[in-house]
Amino acid sequence: MSPLNAPESSAAVRGVGIGLRAAHYREFLDSRPRADWLEVHSENYFGDGGYDLHVLEHVRGRYPVSLHGVALSLGSADGVRQGHLAKLKRLVDRIEPALVSEHLCWAALGPRHFNDLLPLPYTRAALDQVVAHVTLVQETLRRRILIENVSSYLQFRASEMSEFAFLAELAKRSGCSILLDVNNVFVNSVNHGFDPVKALHEIPEGAVGEIHLAGHCAAGDMLIDDHGSRVVPPVWKLYQKACRRFGSIPTLIEWDTSIPPLEVLLDEAAMAARISQAEYA
């Protein structure tokens, strides 16, 4: 079965979800906070057992769950790490998530893993490589995955196309879906000086399967994507334009540093729901 013909499980995900982090485990074990769905970082659940997996298995029975990988390194020049992919497959088989996603970036080369989302040169040769890696992952997991645009601070001179043209071509050739991080589009538009609305229009209308929203901070002439604060007004505005273009897409509030009380995340989620519904009612 081709991954493209695999059951479209993202149908189970609707509305606005939040990232589940350890700081909020207790609330999700003791009660049922009002979130439409939950997303976790896959690698945090790569263990054989223990508390994290216990919590994830608890919530998966109550919410649609999305597994969001941060370290598969789909853009490595020397291929996908088979050990990492095997652990992801084990987790996917165990949790049967509604969505599985990764980033358009690289993180590892040779024996070394840098544990960060590093930028790619957007060349045709790199595209061939990433298409092959995404295809391998989809065949291994026997499902379609989503690939996310990353925030970046540098651009390679070697690039032959924009990040968004690259992502659109990747989706067309590999059959993957696009996880559009609206905050990252905004951050990069400031860091690299381009029009974020034009960037949205480089992505085909039907190609987006999930949207991410998060906060960032400013450092001198650039924006740093630290996922440590509320979504800022220009990003909400860009989200509104994304909703207008792509329709009602499952949206996630991400928050990874200085994690606030759960109510703050749920409040951000309610804001996203209001914007999405107003645009698509």
Q: Which of residues 192-211 bind other proteins (CB under 8 A)?
A: 192
Q: Tell me whether residue 84 or residue 230 sits nearer to other proteins (CB atom).
A: 84
Beta bridge partners of 65: 38
* Contact of 35 with 269, CB cutoff 8 Å: yes
Pick the piece of the chain touching other proteins (CB under 8 A) from 100-108, 140-148, 163-171, 268-276.
100-108
**Considering CB under 8 A, how many residues would be counted as binding other proteins?**
50
- Report the residue count for the chain: 281
Beta bridge partners of 112: 109
Q: Which of residues 120-179 bind other proteins (CB under 8 A)?
A: 120-121, 123, 125-126, 129, 153-158
What is the signed CA dihedral for 81, 86, 91, 93, rounded to 10 degrees?
Answer: 140
Shortest distance in whole angstroms from residue 188 CB to other proteins: 12
Q: Tell me whether residue 124 or residue 198 sits nearer to other proteins (CB atom).
A: 124
31: how many CB neighbours lie within 10 A of its CB? 9
Q: Which of residues 54-93 bind other proteins (CB under 8 A)?
A: 54, 70-73, 75-78, 81, 84, 87
Closest to 51 measured CA to CA, from 31, 26, 88: 26
Q: Which of residues 106-125 bind other proteins (CB under 8 A)?
A: 106-109, 111-116, 118, 120-121, 123, 125
| Exposed / middle / buried, residue 202 (Cβ in 10 Å: 0-12, 13-18, 19+) | middle
Q: Tell me whether residue 116 or residue 267 sits nearer to other proteins (CB atom).
A: 116
Q: Tell me whether residue 86 or residue 270 sits nearer to other proteins (CB atom).
A: 86
Query: According to the binding rule CB under 8 A, does residue 50 interact with other proteins?
Result: yes
Mapped onto helix, strand or coil, the DSSP state of residue 230 is coil
Mapped onto helix, strand or coil, the DSSP state of residue 148 is strand
Residue type, 266: L
Contact positions vs other proteins (CB under 8 A): 43-44, 46-54, 70-73, 75-78, 81, 84, 87, 106-109, 111-116, 118, 120-121, 123, 125-126, 129, 153-158, 192, 219-220, 222, 224
